[in-house]
Amino acid sequence: MKFYDALQLDPAILKRKSAACGAKREKAYYWAAMAARSVLIVSFAIVFISLLSNLFGADNTPLAVALFCMMLGIRFVNFEYCAGDSLLTLAAALAILVLAPSAAAAAPAVLLIPLHFGAFFALLYITTQRPEMGNGGLYSFAYIYLTGNPVFGEALLRRGLLAVVGFVLCGGILLLKHRGQHKATRFHHVVRRFDLTNPVHLWQLRMTLGVSLVLTAGQMFGVERFMWMGFACASLLSAYPYSGNTSVRFRQRLVGAAAGCGAFFLLYLTTPEAFHPLMGPLGGLCLGFCTDYRYKTAMNCFGALMLGAGIYGLQGAVILRMVDTFLGVSFGLVFAALFHRLAAVRLLPQPEGE
- pLDDT band of 350, cuts 50, 70, 90: low
pLDDT at 346: 64
Rounded-to-integer distance, Cα 237 and Cα 207, Å:
5
Mean pLDDT calculated for residue range 103-120? 96
Using an 8 Å Cβ cutoff, are 107 and 119 in contact? Answer: no
Contacts of 264 (CB under 8 A, 6+ apart): 279, 301, 302, 305, 306, 318
The residue that leads in pLDDT, 169 or 3, is 169
What mean pLDDT value characterizes the chain? 93
**Degrees, nearest 5: CA angle 30-35-36:** 95
pLDDT above 50 (res 354)? no
User: What Rg value do the Cα atoms of the chain yield, rounded?
Assistant: 21
DSSP secondary structure letters along 13-65: HHHHHHHH--SHHHHHHHHHHHHHHHHHHHHHHHHHHHHHHHHH-GGGHHHHH
C-alpha 89, offset from chain centre: 18
Rounded-to-integer distance, Cα 187 and Cα 126, Å:
8
Using an 8 Å Cβ cutoff, are 134 and 73 in contact? Answer: yes
- pLDDT band of 184, cuts 50, 70, 90: confident
Q: List pLDDT tens digits, range 243-279.
A: 888 999 999 999 999 999 999 999 999 999 999 999 9
Which SS3 state, helix, strand or coil, does residue 71 take?
Answer: helix
200-204, 211-215, 271-275, 343-347, range with the lowest pLDDT: 343-347
Using an 8 Å Cβ cutoff, are 53 and 64 in contact? Answer: yes
pLDDT at 177: 92
Distances, alpha carbon 256 to alpha carbons 116, 189, 216, 292, 303, in Å: 28, 40, 25, 10, 14
pLDDT at 194: 86
pLDDT above 90 (res 22)? no
Cis amide leading into 241 (omega within 30): yes
Q: List pLDDT tens digits, range 63-72.
A: 999 999 999 9
The answer to whether the Cα torsion of 179, 56, 288, 211 is positive or negative is negative
Rounded-to-integer distance, Cα 206 and Cα 117, Å:
11
Mean pLDDT calculated for residue range 39-62? 96
Q: What percent of the chain has pLDDT over 70?
A: 97
pTM for this entry: 0.94
pLDDT above 60 (res 342)? yes
DSSP secondary structure letters along 266-299: HHHHHS-GGGGGGHHHHHHHHHTT--SHHHHHHH
**Degrees, nearest 5: CA angle 271-274-279:** 65
pLDDT at 208: 96
pLDDT above 50 (res 141)? yes
pLDDT above 80 (res 24)? yes
The residue that leads in pLDDT, 343 or 116, is 116
